[in-house]
Chains A and B, each alone.
Chain A
Amino acid sequence: MEIQNLLKNNFLLFDGAMGTMLQKRGLKGGQLPEGFNIHSPEIIYDIHRKYIEAGADIITANTFGANRFKLKDSPYSTDEIISEAIKIARKAAGDKLVALDIGSTGKMMKPFGTLGFDEAYDVFKEQVIAGKEAGADIILIETISDLYEARAAILAAKENSDLPIFCTMTFQENKRTLMATDSITMVQVLEGLGVDVLGVNCSLGPRQLRPLIDEILKIATIPVMIQPNAGLPILRNGETVYDLTPLEFAEEVKSMAQNGALVLGGCCGTDPVFIKTLKEALRTITPKKLDNRKLTCASSFKSTVIFGKEVKVIGEKINPTGKKKLKEALRNNNIDYIISQAIAQKETGSDILDINLGLPEIDEKEMMKRVIMELQSLIDLPLQIDSVNPDVIEAAARIYNGKAIINSVNGKTSSMEKIFPIVKKYGSLVIGLTLDEEGLPKTAKRRVEIASRIVEKAKSYGIPEENILIDCLVLTASAAQESVMETLKAIPMIKAKYNVKTVLGASNISFGLPNRKIINSTYLALALGCGLDAPITDSTSEILMDTIRAFKVIANQDRECKEYIDFYGQEPKRHKSQEQKIEKDLKQIVIDGIKEEAKLKTKELLETKNPMEVVDLYLIPALDFVGEKYEKQEIFLPQLIRSAETVKIAFEVVKEKILLNGDEKISKGRIILATVKGDVHDIGKNIVKILLENYGFDVIDLGRDVESEKIVSTAKAENIKLVGLSALMTTTLQSMEDTIKELKNNGILCSIMVGGAVLNKEYAKTIGADYYGKDARESVSIAKRVFDA
């Protein structure tokens, strides 16, 4: 490829700012800069020419904001702007290169915003295709704050063109983007996706960016690009100017070039003089080759786990095999339960979470996508996508905002042919299981052979060793005792041969034996001693985490025993609450909202009382009492909700008991709750939800910004009698009305209750709702009425 050759021995010089130049040529505040391609092409041409004359090797076409959202109120289409812009640039460039410039969509992506991944992809795809057809030489994706947006744009560029991709993100002085991505995470994810050049542009001057760029130059293994601003904006004689002179700018950028930056240019405040001066400065130096070693890393959108330096724990609990409650949650679309399991693992020391949702009776792919979307926004741990179905893996890897681990591939040719293309495309890590067509090997030697085959085959797909984690597979000691140690022997053999890391699911070892814990923890300790990098295990198990913490001290990974002392230094305190006798009765605990005591007290009560007695004699009366106090304004919302949460905890215990007894469930009815399309406010909806649950209703919470189709289809599939809709803005009431219409047009025979700050009874009626809930307590009365009728 031409670009790769160009980058071998030369600096590549980009142009400077377009916006700054356009402002000097009459661009008004709020005006569309891309409009100049159409109404004043001569100005654009002239600016490009000046940069070419200054010595730029690549000029950036005036297409930064040429996406369908930003052009919405203009008379132009994406195609029109891009084809004109590239035409002008092409004419100005002569034998130099032209970059299609792609900036942010301007919208915030889900789940914080409302722009979905697929929609973002489509927006970028339109730009990519227009740019390719107009004859751009490279695609420059720049000034991106949201890693998720960068992913969508890069995938759109890769899947719809063969052009080289340069991608730069924008950072703040705290060395994170506005959406909190740090430099190592950017490098891992962008390199994984296969961009040709990555880097940093805009927001700050070269001096402020230096610490960040130094960090990137220490980890990147592909060419690094920098386009800083011309310093920081200051006010001079009533004009905003940037504080660096062209010479100062050039000297700063030059010294970064000496440290290894290869593609250089300017952003806000730079002009052809800056570029010319920079060109001059670069004449005296030659490019420095980066010789960073590839790391084995998994990343969420804002944090990265590096394997190899110390033991990392992959939490195994989100896997329905043998877990009754998780199965039940999956069948009932109860995402909250899965979230609670994820949080419990994070809090007990998991570094990465394995996600396996394979259950025959559910749509695994849809569930996987939903869970990934939820978890990646709530928890900053990287996720491990675990499925036997390549379709599920691909769907999850595509929408995952980070660098995931794929679990798994094995030595079978068919498995490798299906999984490796996905691993390569999304730049994931992959777990290779040492089994093949002949099954699970008995010896260490055979394991090494299979691992070698996996690694070599991966390389043929362009997947580096560093992106592979080998699992040497444990056999249960009760069934195949003689081969247990073979697994452990294989670990150092494989690590000596390749620069791969190793994982191991270590809980199967004790299957069928009593006192499994001690077998598991002993085996884990042995495996760690053999060089295991990351056990796939249960971090909520104290003994296993004890073993890992102890190992980290012994292996000199936990420097100065800090983690160990922090954790165990206060041991006596940790168990105190469990030993204390709780004096208050459950009713009082609910009234006072003492969440920590509810579980134990409920368990205690259930020893002598049956579950329904606990509900009817304690929980409901306490709730009613609290509710009345709230009505009388003796207590306020935070206390009401705290009591409700206390009841919820007690209820969980009661439900577990009922499940155990095999009694019938105590559902008073099933209710859908959703914040309507376009609205992202959900506090009110969440309050309604917990109160309804407290009174024994099952709530299907569809979340916020919910499409009417989703509400209709769920209501239909689940045969729902009551739907609750929430909207907080005058601008989203329309969408509430539309949803109600959709429900009625589809013949869904359910009652509809609505609520939200801008609603009132009359308005609720006009838009076709059956009930208006002025607050959460009211929604409980409505539900009682609907289900008692």
Chain B
Amino acid sequence: MERHLNHYNINRNKIDIGIDKEEVLRYLGYEGKKVDDITDLIIDECIGEILEISRTSFIYNTYEVNMERDVIFFKNTNFKIKGEDISNHLQNSKKCVIMAVTLGNEVDERIRYYSKVDLTRSLIFDACTTAAIEALCDWVERLIKKMSIKAGYKATTRYSPGYGDLSIEIQPKILRLLDTQKHIGLTVTDSFILLPKKSVTAFIGIGKDVKSESIDCRNCSLYKNCLFEKEGDSCGNSKPVKK
């Protein structure tokens, strides 16, 4: 008998996510270059502060899915998504986890505060929170992977609105489905910006025979304007390609 997947989870407790300093340096443009002492010190201070004040909240739910061509239907909901890239990504998935993750409003507040008293610090703080939200996403993704494997499945990497042809206009529907505002305080603006700003939503496919490698940069909607890709690097969500 197939084991049940833990298909629903809300977390508002502190998780030790760890923030990768190399990652922070990369966001700030120091790729393998020497960082000056003052910047280095501020990064350490910001990381400490973020670990202290950020929330590490997430919610996810697992749905059985049916695919018809490039449309994915989520069973027992009125939710569906359409797109070649996401369909491709979720190929052979029997189930799909939808996750929403946020560091909470406290870090946004702090960035705002620093932008008034210490612009350098606000810039560095912002980069550190970006690394932190990525780390939290990775943490949740690993959790889902682990559970899937335990239950005898495989899981894909996470795929977020804004990648490929999956528009960010899907955000309000995801948020409504998971009731994120009530559970973790996550909202979206009319321009489809998630608030608190350091937040992510994503899909993870689960099945016996799913693809589990990273997506290709060329599939990303930011391909033309990506800051990392210009340097032959990647944001970490995808595999870099040589132009």
Which residues of B, 28-68, contact A by the 8 Å Cβ criterion? 28-30, 33, 35-36, 38-39, 42, 61, 63
Contact A28/B182 with A639-B39, A641-B123, A686-B119 known, Cβ cut-off 8 Å = no
Q: Does B176 contact A (CB under 8 A)?
A: yes
Q: Which among A156-164, A231-239, A381-389 touches the partner chain?
A: A231-239
Which residues of A, 320-372, contact B by the 8 Å Cβ criterion? 336, 339-340, 343
Which residues does chain B contribute within 8 Å of A145, judged by CB atoms?
Answer: 181, 185
| In the bound complex, CA of A679 to CA of B189 (Å) | 9
Of the candidates A339, A731, A735, the one having the most CB atoms from chain B within 10 angstroms of its own CB is: A731
Q: How far is the CB of A699 from chain B (nearest CB, A)?
A: 13
Given B4, B112, B122, which contacts A238 in the complex, CB threshold below 8 Å?
B4
Which residues of B, 57-99, contact A by the 8 Å Cβ criterion? 61, 63, 74, 76-79
Of the candidates A203, A638, A732, the one having the most CB atoms from chain B within 10 angstroms of its own CB is: A638
Q: How far is the CB of B164 from chain A (nearest CB, A)?
A: 14
Q: How far is the CB of A237 from chain B (nearest CB, A)?
A: 7
Inter-chain residue pair count (beta carbon < 8 A): 156
Given B8, B39, B177, which contacts A30 in the complex, CB threshold below 8 Å?
B177
Q: Which residue of B lies closest to A758 (CB)?
A: B225
Q: Does A285 contact B (CB under 8 A)?
A: no
Q: Is the CB of B109 within 8 A of A642?
A: no
Q: Does A490 contact B (CB under 8 A)?
A: no
Q: Does B184 contact A (CB under 8 A)?
A: yes
Q: Is the CB of A339 within 8 A of B116?
A: yes
Contact A108/B195 with A113-B187, A683-B122, A686-B119 known, Cβ cut-off 8 Å = yes
Q: Which among B100-108, B201-209, B235-243 touches the partner chain?
A: B100-108
Which residues does chain B contribute within 8 Å of A340, judged by CB atoms?
Answer: 116-117
| In the bound complex, CA of A31 to CA of B77 (Å) | 7
Q: Is the CB of B8 within 8 A of A377?
A: no
Q: Which residue of A lies closest to B111 (CB)?
A: A683
Q: How far is the CB of B57 from chain A (nearest CB, A)?
A: 8
Which residues does chain B contribute within 8 Å of A760, judged by CB atoms?
Answer: 224-225
| In the bound complex, CA of A114 to CA of B39 (Å) | 33
Which residues of A, 631-664, contact B by the 8 Å Cβ criterion? 633, 635-639, 641-642, 644-645
Contact A28/B10 with A112-B196, A683-B126 known, Cβ cut-off 8 Å = no
Of the candidates B12, B63, B111, B191, the one having the most CB atoms from chain A within 10 angstroms of its own CB is: B191
Mark interface residues in B150-192 (1 if CB within 8 Å of A CB, else 0): 0000000000000000001100010011000111110101111
Mark interface residues in A683-713 (1 if CB within 8 Å of B CB, else 0): 1001100100000000000000000000000
Contact residues of A: prevailing secondary structure:
loop
Which residues does chain A contribute within 8 Å of B119, judged by CB atoms?
Answer: 641, 644-645, 686-687, 690
Q: Is the CB of B29 within 8 A of A29?
A: no
Mark interface residues in A394-412 (1 if CB within 8 Å of B CB, else 0): 0000000000000000000
Q: Does B7 contact A (CB under 8 A)?
A: yes
Mark interface residues in A184-228 (1 if CB within 8 Å of B CB, else 0): 000000000000000000110000000000000000000000000
Which residues does chain A contribute within 8 Å of B42, judged by CB atoms?
Answer: 638
Q: Is the CB of A639 within 8 A of B36?
A: yes
Contact A235/B4 with A377-B112, A638-B28 known, Cβ cut-off 8 Å = yes
| In the bound complex, CA of A735 to CA of B61 (Å) | 35
Q: How far is the CB of A772 from chain B (nearest CB, A)?
A: 13
Q: How far is the CB of B162 from chain A (nearest CB, A)?
A: 9
Q: Is the CB of A682 within 8 A of B225?
A: no
Of the candidates B8, B111, B222, the one having the most CB atoms from chain A within 10 angstroms of its own CB is: B8
Q: Does B15 contact A (CB under 8 A)?
A: no
Q: How far is the CB of B174 from chain A (nearest CB, A)?
A: 9
| In the bound complex, CA of A70 to CA of B182 (Å) | 13
Q: Is the CB of B109 within 8 A of A377?
A: yes
Give the interface size bracket for B toward A: 35 or more
Q: How far is the CB of B33 from chain A (nearest CB, A)?
A: 7
Which residues does chain B contribute within 8 Å of A680, judged by CB atoms?
Answer: 189, 193, 195, 197
Total interface residues on A, using CB and 8 Å?
62
Q: Does B124 contact A (CB under 8 A)?
A: yes
Given B176, B183, B189, which contacts A113 in the complex, CB threshold below 8 Å?
B189
Q: Is the CB of A240 within 8 A of B28?
A: no
Q: Is the CB of B105 within 8 A of A112?
A: yes
Q: Which residue of B lies closest to A336 (CB)?
A: B116
Q: How far is the CB of A509 from chain B (nearest CB, A)?
A: 33
Q: How far is the CB of A401 from chain B (nearest CB, A)?
A: 13
Of the candidates B29, B193, B222, the one having the most CB atoms from chain A within 10 angstroms of its own CB is: B193
Q: Is the CB of B195 within 8 A of A113?
A: yes
Which residues does chain B contribute within 8 Å of A31, judged by CB atoms?
Answer: 77-78
Contact A633/B76 with A645-B119, A679-B191 known, Cβ cut-off 8 Å = no
Contact A107/B189 with A30-B176, A378-B113 known, Cβ cut-off 8 Å = yes
| In the bound complex, CA of A587 to CA of B21 (Å) | 31
Q: Does A462 contact B (CB under 8 A)?
A: no
Q: Is the CB of B123 within 8 A of A638?
A: yes
Q: Does B227 contact A (CB under 8 A)?
A: yes
Which residues does chain A contribute within 8 Å of B38, judged by CB atoms?
Answer: 593, 639, 642
Q: Does A757 contact B (CB under 8 A)?
A: yes
Q: Is the CB of A240 within 8 A of B8?
A: yes
Q: Is the CB of B36 within 8 A of A635?
A: yes
| In the bound complex, CA of A678 to CA of B168 (Å) | 15
Q: Is the CB of B29 within 8 A of A636?
A: yes
| In the bound complex, CA of A482 to CA of B136 (Å) | 68
Q: Does A512 contact B (CB under 8 A)?
A: no
| In the bound complex, CA of A104 to CA of B63 (Å) | 26
Q: Which among A3-11, A172-180, A244-252, A269-277 touches the partner chain?
A: A172-180
Q: Which residue of A lies closest to B113 (CB)?
A: A378
| In the bound complex, CA of A435 to CA of B99 (Å) | 62
Q: How far is the CB of A637 from chain B (nearest CB, A)?
A: 6
| In the bound complex, CA of A112 to CA of B111 (Å) | 11
Which residues does chain B contribute within 8 Å of A28, judged by CB atoms?
Answer: 76-78
Q: Is the CB of A731 within 8 A of B108?
A: no
Mark interface residues in A716-742 (1 if CB within 8 Å of B CB, else 0): 000000000000011110010000000
Which residues of A, 607-646, contact B by the 8 Å Cβ criterion? 633, 635-639, 641-642, 644-645
Which residues does chain B contribute within 8 Å of A644, judged by CB atoms?
Answer: 119
Which residues does chain A contribute within 8 Å of B4, judged by CB atoms?
Answer: 235, 237-238
Mark interface residues in A85-112 (1 if CB within 8 Å of B CB, else 0): 0000000000000000000101110011
Contact A637/B28 with A178-B105, A731-B192 known, Cβ cut-off 8 Å = yes
Question: What residues make up the interface of B, taking CB atoms closer than 8 Å to A?
Answer: 4, 6-8, 10, 12-13, 28-30, 33, 35-36, 38-39, 42, 61, 63, 74, 76-79, 104-106, 108-109, 111-113, 115-120, 122-124, 126, 168-169, 173, 176-177, 181-185, 187, 189-193, 195-197, 221-222, 224-225, 227
Closest 8 CB pairs of A and B: A29-B77, A178-B185, A238-B4, A678-B191, A30-B177, A636-B29, A731-B191, A642-B120
Can you show 6 pairs from A to B with CB atoms below 8 A apart?
A: A30-B176, A108-B187, A112-B108, A113-B195, A178-B184, A638-B42
Taking A636-B28, A679-B193, A729-B193 as known contacts, 8 extra A-B pairs with beta carbons closer than 8 A to each other, sorted by chain A number, are: A377-B112, A636-B35, A636-B39, A638-B123, A678-B193, A680-B197, A682-B115, A730-B221
Question: What residues make up the interface of A, taking CB atoms closer than 8 Å to B?
Answer: 28-31, 70, 104, 106-108, 111-114, 143, 145, 170, 172-173, 178-180, 202-203, 233, 235, 237-238, 240, 336, 339-340, 343, 377-378, 593, 633, 635-639, 641-642, 644-645, 678-683, 686-687, 690, 729-732, 735, 757-758, 760
